[in-house]
Structure 1
Amino acid sequence: MSDNTIRTTSSRTVSATPRGLFIDGKTVAAGPRDLMEIRSPGTGDVVESVLLCSAEDVDAAVQSAAQAFRSPDWAGLSVRTRARFVNKLADVMEAHLEELYELETLNNGRPIRETRAQLARVPDLFRYNAGLALAKRDDVIPVEGEYLTYTKRLPVGVVANVTPFNHPLLIACRNLAPTFASGCTTVVKPSEYTPLTTLRLAELFSEAGLPPGVFNVVTGNGAVTGRALSSHPGIRKLVLTGGTEAGRLAGAAAASNFARQTLELGGKTPVVVFDDFDVDQAVNYAAFGAFVGAGQTCVCAARHIVQRTVYDEFVEKLAKKTAAIRIGDPFDVETQMGPVISERQRQRVLDYVAIGKSEGARLVAGGRIPEKLSNGGYFVEPTVFADVDAGMRIAQEEVFGPFTVVIPFDAEEDAVRIANDSPYGLAAAVRTRDVARAHRVADSIEAGIIWINDHHRVDAASPWGGFKLSGIGREFGKEAFEAYFDVKAVMLNVGDRPFDWYDMGAADVRLN
């Protein structure tokens, strides 16, 4: 029997008064319109209601962002002034972190310990991008002939930022930071499950002096609000983090207006464990990679590909560690794993448990709703399947919950083949003490992010994004910042030679 137990020690709520959207620097009253209930995953209780924004609401937000983009109050800022202001936003966010920790934990159910560890680093995203803005230089390009040719990078305009429920504030801010530092404006549509911290951040930034219309928020679901935003002809860039199918639909809509795109989509992260790596340490990384955020991350350690010589030991120790993870109230500092986001998501995990059993895999940990459930939260035990074949559905399809599988391998080439046997290519990890093998395997795995002897690490300077069905473009780093600009080339004729193309006697006239 599993040792997992539910621990409930506190109940946190916020006002149930319906909230409106945030447009043009102010909250728009909800009024007699369609509302969505926002539930806390830790209890299942309704903690707030927000608007289901219509296409008309989205249009108003995009128009506000477009007007702000051209306004002297924003467009007229010098690079240095804007960079100072973006640094000020980092300070404002830092000053309100305690409030944001609690609101985020209430809204998405991650344990407060996880929330603190993650959000404490978010203000530095703004500081890093402010630095990139100060360091930005355009090019002078040597060309043939008597010409001075140079480039100018200009902010693209209105950015649609569609964010998920798993890291609401982190993912919003990793795109807000380059948006503001570049001089763009934005309309953010947070997940219908987790809009609360995004709405609060918009209020805080407005109070700090961010000009009206630079940061707008529309709340709603993907079918109505998300579709209206991604297909709006006024957006010049779409940034979306979500499932692959959502990215396909939103990307196609944005492409109809030739908006550029950055899409971070699904994943089925392989972790290759060689027998020269300490098994206990490999198990610790496995549990962290698979179950942090209740497994609701695109880089969840979903496939552990373990060398057969240590396979049995790895499975036994991972099962034991998984069973000991403390599940419970997200506000309890002793809680190690919280709930999944919704009853629907919990049922998805349980459905994949049934699929795994039907495929003949061996369930070695979890797979159930905890027996000592004492409230209405969406809890499910962290789950491990062993003796999995790489072609099984549980090894191919993204579950997006606390769910991982273990697959044996013999030779290095087999491990690489299994790791690449996936439609996804967001992230991967390698566990080995052989430096040459670490680099060799990292080079061979088809993924945009590779961790060697670690997992789930990010940095504001390191690009983040995937291959194949895991999306296009990069977030974080200078690669992300530069994607918020259009490039204009200027060519100046510095010579004084006469030119007349239609003088048929002229010699050495160049056409282009």
Structure 2
Amino acid sequence: MTQVANGAELHAPTETRSIINPATGAEIAVVPELGADAVDAAVAGALTAFESGPWPAMVRSERARLLLRIADAIEGASEKLYTLEALNNGRPITETRAQLSRVPEWFRYNAGLLAAQRQAVLPGDGPYLTYQQRLPLGVCGIITPFNHPLLILARSLSAALANGNTVVVKPSEMTPLTTLALLDIMTEAGLPDGVVHVVTGGRDAGIRLTQHPDIAKITLTGGTEAGRAAALATAARFARVTAELGGKTPVVVFDDVDPTAAAEGAAFAAFVAAGQSCVAGSRFLVQRGIYDAFVAALTVRATAIRVGDPTRPDTQMGPLISARQRDKVRDLIETGVAEGARLAAGGGIPELPDTLQDGFFLEPTVLADADMQMTVALQEIFGPVAVVIPFDDEHDAVRMANDNRYGLGAGVWTTDVGRAHRVASRIVAGMVWINDHHRLEPSLPWGGVKESGIGKDAGTESFDDFSWIKTIVVRTAAEPVDWYGGAGQGRLN
């Protein structure tokens, strides 16, 4: 059966899509290729579940308990999910295990926020009791990317469900498998029918979801242009939108650190997920005093990274998601060299066993001696490419870090505590890591500024944004009100 909603078959498509293992180029699954009609059916089903189903009206403690059961069920299926995601998006099993083992935390965190939620009582003058209620928005749409499909979904889905919303999910057309597996897990854990719907499809399905008049909020992780289109579509009907978009993350390395230790630590920023992350450290800004030593150490580390079969526990970097993405990254590397950057490491296709010859692999790459005007310093690469640029002093570093249209994340490496806080406060980015990179918690609001998006995913900010506030004013005085008869004229508003 083609299942696109928990407990219900909504659409019988005539078109299908092959899901490819990027490490081998082989087909590993076939899913329905659904479009606008399927989105309409899914939204209608979710709206029915919201208006007449048990989920929004469920006692909060009961809803929280169900989210905790879902978290436990995800843990029980963890090994299956690790392997499935590694096969589907090519990330090494060590990365998927480290990342997906944290997915249950988001369900537990939002269940805790739900259980602890208080309704505000507001101060005011006169014989009045004023209080607020938080109510679910309705049907929410979640559009997820290929690079972190399950974790990014869990961040928004757990918050949306905790608040009593129903949800339509449109996963990346390339990586829907763990999303579909999660749907089965939640259904078996007791999630009522119709609360979550999954529509597998491409661009048409995503556009329709953002434009659908019954969608109260869109949460999207993707490219900046997709986010811009979603923001325009939701603005037309005054729906909410959270968009986590592109990035060109600067990693600022000062000359008070050990260059080898900093290079080995910061390499994670550039090469985790084969560089296919919005917060990938693709711009290394290194102070001149340690510049040559840092480049040398980063080159050694990049060259030593073990590229190969993502299902093997000794693999440190897998393939890119597709041949198209690999070709795009290679073109950008060639552009960087043509514009004057030095190819210090990588840039080619690694030598791998015959079973991986049709995979979409690329060597970890270091482009040194770049400058801020080069294409590779300005454009998001979304591949395993570290661009290294020298700077002179702290003022220079901050200016260069902020000289970009994105503002998602940043890294600062220094042993000077005062400098760490000064620079972090001056960098225009939604998140700054000091002497580390890409660390997150369920309580950490995730999101950027400028063209990196709007709104926050995770944290109480995300939890609260999946509800709306109603203010209720109760007059408690015993005497009657008769404005036109002269009673109660001491105050108009």
How many Å separate the matches in 2 of 1:447 and 1:410?
21
How many Å separate the matches in 2 of 1:405 and 1:373?
29
How many Å separate the matches in 2 of 1:135 and 1:345?
44
State the one-letter code of the partner of 2:303.
A
State the one-letter code of the partner of 2:201.
G
Alignment of 1:305 with 2:285, yes or no, is: yes
State the one-letter code of the partner of 1:123.
P
How many Å separate the matches in 2 of 1:258 and 1:356?
42
Residue in 1 aligned with 2:406? 424
Between 426-435 and 247-256, report the one with greater CA deviation.
Answer: 247-256
1:404 is displaced (CA, Å) by 1.5
The 5 Å alignment of 1:327-342 reads 327-342=307-322
How many Å separate the matches in 1 of 2:6 and 2:271?
39
1:93 is displaced (CA, Å) by 0.6
Residue in 2 aligned with 1:455? 437
Residue in 1 aligned with 2:175? 194
Residue in 2 aligned with 1:256? 236
Residue in 2 aligned with 1:483? 465
Alignment of 1:57 with 2:38, yes or no, is: yes
Residue in 1 aligned with 2:253? 273
Alignment of 1:401 with 2:354, yes or no, is: no
State the one-letter code of the partner of 2:174.
Y
1:331 is displaced (CA, Å) by 0.8
1:76 is displaced (CA, Å) by 2.5
State the one-letter code of the partner of 1:376.
D
- Kindly indicate whether the alpha-carbon contact (under 8 Å) linking 1:279 and 1:313 is maintained by their aligned counterparts in 2: yes
How many Å separate the matches in 2 of 1:243 and 1:84?
35
1:293 is displaced (CA, Å) by 0.3
The 5 Å alignment of 1:76-475 reads 76-222=57-203, 224-372=204-352, 374=354, 375-475=357-457
1:145 is displaced (CA, Å) by 2.3
1:490 is displaced (CA, Å) by 0.5
Q: Is the partner of 1:166 in helix, strand or coil?
A: coil
State the one-letter code of the partner of 2:132.
T
- Kindly indicate whether the alpha-carbon contact (under 8 Å) linking 1:268 and 1:398 is maintained by their aligned counterparts in 2: yes
- Kindly indicate whether the alpha-carbon contact (under 8 Å) linking 1:25 and 1:215 is maintained by their aligned counterparts in 2: no
- Kindly indicate whether the alpha-carbon contact (under 8 Å) linking 2:56 and 2:136 is maintained by their aligned counterparts in 1: no
- Kindly indicate whether the alpha-carbon contact (under 8 Å) linking 2:242 and 2:456 is maintained by their aligned counterparts in 1: yes
Q: Is the partner of 1:194 in helix, strand or coil?
A: coil
1:463 is displaced (CA, Å) by 1.0
State the one-letter code of the partner of 2:89.
N
How many Å separate the matches in 1 of 2:130 and 2:366?
59
Superposed CA RMSD? 1.5
1:506 is displaced (CA, Å) by 6.3
Q: Is the partner of 1:385 in helix, strand or coil?
A: strand
State the one-letter code of the partner of 1:218.
V
Which aligned segments of 4 or more residues in structure 1 are displaced greater than 4 angstroms?
27-31
State the one-letter code of the partner of 1:37.
S
- Kindly indicate whether the alpha-carbon contact (under 8 Å) linking 1:383 and 1:404 is maintained by their aligned counterparts in 2: yes
State the one-letter code of the partner of 1:320.
V
How many Å separate the matches in 1 of 2:413 and 2:401?
13
1:371 is displaced (CA, Å) by 3.8
- Kindly indicate whether the alpha-carbon contact (under 8 Å) linking 2:10 and 2:42 is maintained by their aligned counterparts in 1: no
Q: Percent identity?
A: 54
How many Å separate the matches in 2 of 1:108 and 1:371?
20
- Kindly indicate whether the alpha-carbon contact (under 8 Å) linking 2:221 and 2:243 is maintained by their aligned counterparts in 1: yes
Deviation string, structure 1 residues 388-424 (Cα, Å, up to 9, x no partner): 1112111111011111111111110000000000110
How many Å separate the matches in 1 of 2:39 and 2:11?
15
Deviation string, structure 1 residues 234-282 (Cα, Å, up to 9, x no partner): 1101000011111111221222222101110000110110111121221
How many Å separate the matches in 2 of 1:396 and 1:54?
34
Residue in 2 aligned with 1:9? none
How many Å separate the matches in 2 of 1:64 and 1:350?
44
How many Å separate the matches in 1 of 2:376 and 2:409?
18
State the one-letter code of the partner of 1:93.
I
State the one-letter code of the partner of 1:191.
S
- Kindly indicate whether the alpha-carbon contact (under 8 Å) linking 1:25 and 1:216 is maintained by their aligned counterparts in 2: no
Deviation string, structure 1 residues 180-200 (Cα, Å, up to 9, x no partner): 111111000000100011011
Q: Is the partner of 1:26 in helix, strand or coil?
A: coil
1:358 is displaced (CA, Å) by 1.7
Structure 1 residue runs of 5 or longer lacking an equivalent are 1-18
- Kindly indicate whether the alpha-carbon contact (under 8 Å) linking 1:191 and 1:221 is maintained by their aligned counterparts in 2: yes
- Kindly indicate whether the alpha-carbon contact (under 8 Å) linking 1:52 and 1:225 is maintained by their aligned counterparts in 2: no
- Kindly indicate whether the alpha-carbon contact (under 8 Å) linking 2:23 and 2:90 is maintained by their aligned counterparts in 1: yes
1:24 is displaced (CA, Å) by 4.8
TM-score by length of 1: 0.93
1:27 is displaced (CA, Å) by 4.8
- Kindly indicate whether the alpha-carbon contact (under 8 Å) linking 1:161 and 1:238 is maintained by their aligned counterparts in 2: yes
How many Å separate the matches in 1 of 2:449 and 2:233?
21
1:286 is displaced (CA, Å) by 2.2
Alignment of 1:26 with 2:8, yes or no, is: yes
How many Å separate the matches in 1 of 2:458 and 2:488?
52
How many Å separate the matches in 2 of 1:226 and 1:21?
18
Q: Is the partner of 1:64 in helix, strand or coil?
A: helix
- Kindly indicate whether the alpha-carbon contact (under 8 Å) linking 1:21 and 1:219 is maintained by their aligned counterparts in 2: no
Q: Is the partner of 1:368 in helix, strand or coil?
A: coil
Residue in 2 aligned with 1:5? none
1:451 is displaced (CA, Å) by 0.4
Q: Is the partner of 1:22 in helix, strand or coil?
A: coil
How many Å separate the matches in 1 of 2:256 and 2:337?
31
1:55 is displaced (CA, Å) by 1.4
- The number of equivalent residue pairs is 491
How many Å separate the matches in 1 of 2:469 and 2:443?
22
1:500 is displaced (CA, Å) by 3.4
- Kindly indicate whether the alpha-carbon contact (under 8 Å) linking 2:275 and 2:382 is maintained by their aligned counterparts in 1: yes
1:26 is displaced (CA, Å) by 3.4
How many Å separate the matches in 1 of 2:44 and 2:103?
28
State the one-letter code of the partner of 2:339.
E
TM-score by length of 2: 0.97
How many Å separate the matches in 2 of 1:299 and 1:221?
24
1:509 is displaced (CA, Å) by 4.2
Q: Is the partner of 1:84 in helix, strand or coil?
A: helix
Deviation string, structure 1 residues 413-462 (Cα, Å, up to 9, x no partner): 00000000011011001101111110000000000101011111011111
